[in-house]
């Protein structure tokens, strides 16, 4: 079965064709990163306009690269939520137009579910149930995946996401967008004990995260040093800060895995590309006799192959939308309307 995936939730216009949820036949991405660098982050209006300009050619190239035609495609899977609403609307409306013109069914896909599905492509043997840590610029979740379309959130951030936490600190340091990626690169070889950062605990919920205090501590440290004329060692700062963030992510995941009895652990989301997080998760799983699955680096960021992969499982479970499908800036991964 061939699924055409369409992704436009942020600043990547992407399309891909995936066979049976696990084999990529084509994957095309039109990135806007260079354009948004000058603003230090994604500008929603610009992102939406660039999606409009790129989406038609990106989809056509994906189908051509896959060596097929629209007659060979079984369904169109599209990211409908969560994300930048204007950007999402471009993908959703294009998918609806494509469905109207070709008769192909539309499959709505939750963005975080598709990040999880990136692991089905990297590791075709992976099957639910498993425990998944999903970490991105806007989300930090610990989720039980009991089946391909059955999710249960058991832990999440109460305020900022881990990716946002890293991005803000990187920006305060003067590092270019994308901040988290550049902070990771800048911290290689740094001493992670040089700077001390808090390790917040959420009272009454041992699996939930809180990163706002950590982010504030980092920004205050940078500003105080600037006011005193002191120089921040970016390599050591980055290493210390990433250690604090990843310590929280890994420790809560470990507690959740032990309490729920899961031995299969999955890492997903844009922050799953972070080198420190990947190492720490691997060390934690080896220590506890758990098996860790991580997406290959090319599938950590936003792409349409992961959308097509999850779309396959949504399609065979009967999750098909009609022309009333709309985009949503927020949506619960469990299938509810709101986060």
We report the CATH number of the domain holding residue 72 as 3.30.420.40
pLDDT tens per residue across span 212-254: 999 999 999 999 999 999 999 999 999 999 999 999 999 999 9
- Rounded to an integer, what distance in angstroms lies between the CA atom of residue 8 and that of residue 10? 6
- Conformational region of residue 285, where left means phi above 0, alpha means psi within -120 to 50, and beta covers everything else: alpha
Assigned domain for 35 exists: yes
Claim to verify: residue 177 and residue 64 sit in the same structural domain = no
Claim to verify: residue 231 and residue 139 sit in the same structural domain = yes
Q: How many C-beta neighbours within 10 Å does residue 72 have?
A: 13
- Rounded to an integer, what distance in angstroms lies between the CA atom of residue 252 and that of residue 262? 13
Claim to verify: residue 65 and residue 145 sit in the same structural domain = no
Contact 233, 157 (CB under 8 A): no
Dihedral over Cα of 170, 173, 174, 175: its sign: negative
Q: Is 261 exposed, middle or buried (0-12, 13-18, 19+ CB in 10 A)?
A: exposed
Claim to verify: residue 270 and residue 181 sit in the same structural domain = yes
Claim to verify: residue 38 and residue 150 sit in the same structural domain = no
Assigned domain for 333 exists: no
Claim to verify: residue 289 and residue 142 sit in the same structural domain = yes
In the three-class reduction of DSSP (H, G, I as helix; E, B as strand; rest coil), residue 29 is classed as strand
Contact 4, 77 (CB under 8 A): yes
Reported residue count of the chain is 339
Assigned domain for 325 exists: no
pLDDT tens per residue across span 5-16: 999 999 999 999
Q: CA neighbours within 13 Å on the CB side: how many for 312?
A: 23
Residue 333 carries which DSSP code?
A: T
> Could you tell me which of 242, 233, 306 has the C-alpha nearest to residue 279?
242
Claim to verify: residue 187 and residue 271 sit in the same structural domain = yes
Query: For the whole model, what pTM was predicted?
Result: 0.95
> Could you tell me which of 257, 262, 164 has the C-alpha nearest to residue 207?
257
How do strand 140-147 and strand 130-135 relate by DSSP bridges? antiparallel
Assigned domain for 121 exists: no
- What SS3 string covers 244-294? HHHHHHHHHHHHHHHHHCCCEEEEECHHHHCHHHHHHHHHHHHHCCCEEEC
Residue numbers of the domain that contains 211: 127-295
The DSSP result for 60-87, as a single string, is: HHHHHHTT--GGG--EEEEEEESS-HHH
Claim to verify: residue 70 and residue 156 sit in the same structural domain = no
- Measured in whole angstroms, the distance separating CA 300 from the mean position of its chain's CA atoms is 7
Overall number of domains in the chain: 2
Claim to verify: residue 95 and residue 144 sit in the same structural domain = no
Walk along the chain (339 residues) and give the pLDDT tens digit of each residue: 999 999 999 999 999 999 999 999 999 999 999 999 989 899 999 999 999 999 999 999 999 999 999 999 999 999 999 999 999 999 999 999 999 999 999 999 999 999 999 999 999 999 999 999 999 988 999 999 999 999 999 999 999 999 999 999 999 999 999 999 999 999 999 999 999 999 888 988 999 999 999 999 999 999 999 999 999 999 999 999 999 999 999 999 999 999 999 999 999 999 999 999 999 999 999 999 999 999 999 999 999 999 999 999 999 999 999 999 999 999 999 985 555
Assigned domain for 193 exists: yes
Assigned domain for 338 exists: no
Claim to verify: residue 261 and residue 304 sit in the same structural domain = no
H helices within 123-155, ranges in order? none
Contact 132, 116 (CB under 8 A): yes
Claim to verify: residue 138 and residue 282 sit in the same structural domain = yes
- Rounded to an integer, what distance in angstroms lies between the CA atom of residue 77 and that of residue 71? 15
Assigned domain for 100 exists: yes
> Could you tell me which of 85, 93, 109, 103 has the C-alpha nearest to residue 5?
109
């Amino acid at each position: 079965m061939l699924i055409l995936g369409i992704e436009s939730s942020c600043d990547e216009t992407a399309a891909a064709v995936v066979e049976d949820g696990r084999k990529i036949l084509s994957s095309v991405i039109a990135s806007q990163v260079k354009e948004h660098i000058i603003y230090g982050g994604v500008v929603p209006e610009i992102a939406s306009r660039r999606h409009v300009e790129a989406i038609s050619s990106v989809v056509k190239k994906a189908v051509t690269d896959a060596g097929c035609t629209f007659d060979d495609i079984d369904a169109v899977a599209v990211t409908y939520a969560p994300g930048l609403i204007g950007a999402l609307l471009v993908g959703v409306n294009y998918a609806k137009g494509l469905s109207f013109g070709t008769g192909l069914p539309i499959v709505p896909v939750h963005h975080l579910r598709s990040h999880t599905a990136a692991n089905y492509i990297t590791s075709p043997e992976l099957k639910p149930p498993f425990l998944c840590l999903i970490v991105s610029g806007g989300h930090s979740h610990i989720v039980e995946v009991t089946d391909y379309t059955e999710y249960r959130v058991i832990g999440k951030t109460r305020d900022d996401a881990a990716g946002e936490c890293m991005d803000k600190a990187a920006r305060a340091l003067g590092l270019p967008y994308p901040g988290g990626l550049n902070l990771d690169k800048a911290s290689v070889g740094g001493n992670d004990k040089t700077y001390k950062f808090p390790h917040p605990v959420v009272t009454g919920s041992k699996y939930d995260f809180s990163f706002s205090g950590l982010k504030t501590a980092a920004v205050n440290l940078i500003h105080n040093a600037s006011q005193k004329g002191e120089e921040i060692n970016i390599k050591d700062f980055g290493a210390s800060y990433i250690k604090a963030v990843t310590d929280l992510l890994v420790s809560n995941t470990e507690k959740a895995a032990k309490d729920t009895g899961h031995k299969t652990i999955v890492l997903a989301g844009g922050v799953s590309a972070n080198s420190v997080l990947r190492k720490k998760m691997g060390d934690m799983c080896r220590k506890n006799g758990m098996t860790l699955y991580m997406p290959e680096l090319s599938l950590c960021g936003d792409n349409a192959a992961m959308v097509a992969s999850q779309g396959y499982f949504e399609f065979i479970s009967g999750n098909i939308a009609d022309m009333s499908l709309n985009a949503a800036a927020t949506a619960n991964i469990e299938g509810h309307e709101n986060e």
